[in-house]
């Protein structure tokens, strides 16, 4: 009965391939995120969607394209994978943020370990 689930857990692929990571949350939250944990272990935000609308788009290469078919799902598609894309990708969700409050308590999935060979 996982609150935020992402698949696959592990993804090994060759350079140049296109791959997708799926994320679903059953918490009824309106906001979903993708974070990347790089080799230096920092968790960095990539995208944020609120009720299917893109609200945060960090300086991520346009090879990364998030898609939110509904507010419970936020998938990440990556084109032309590169070695530097190897990382752990975390999906997260949070309740709808009230205007003016920066108290985002995120609920994370267990991560997808992406290895590009």
Residue numbers of the site for other proteins (CB under 8 A)?
4, 35, 40-45, 48, 55-56, 90, 92, 97, 100-111
Nearer to other proteins, 86 or 108 (CB): 108
Taking the least distance from each CB to other proteins, the nearer of 12 and 55 is 55
Examine residue 8 and say whether the peptide bond preceding it is cis (omega within 30 degrees of 0): yes
CB of 51 to other proteins, least distance (A): 16
Question: In terms of CB distance, is 39 or 62 closer to other proteins?
Answer: 39
CA-based end-to-end distance of the chain: 33
């Amino acid at each position: 009965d996982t609150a935020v689930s992402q698949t696959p857990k592990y993804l090994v692929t060759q350079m140049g391939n296109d791959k997708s990571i799926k994320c679903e949350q059953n918490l009824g939250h309106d906001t979903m995120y993708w974070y990347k944990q790089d080799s230096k272990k920092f968790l960095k935000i990539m995208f944020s969607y609120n009720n299917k609308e893109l609200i945060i788009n960090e300086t991520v290469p346009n090879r990364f394209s998030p898609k939110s078919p509904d507010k419970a799902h936020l998938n990440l598609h990556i084109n032309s994978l590169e070695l530097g894309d190897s990382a752990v990708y975390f999906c997260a969700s949070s309740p709808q943020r009230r205007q003016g409050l920066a108290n985002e308590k995120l609920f994370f999935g267990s991560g997808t370990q992406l290895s590009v060979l």
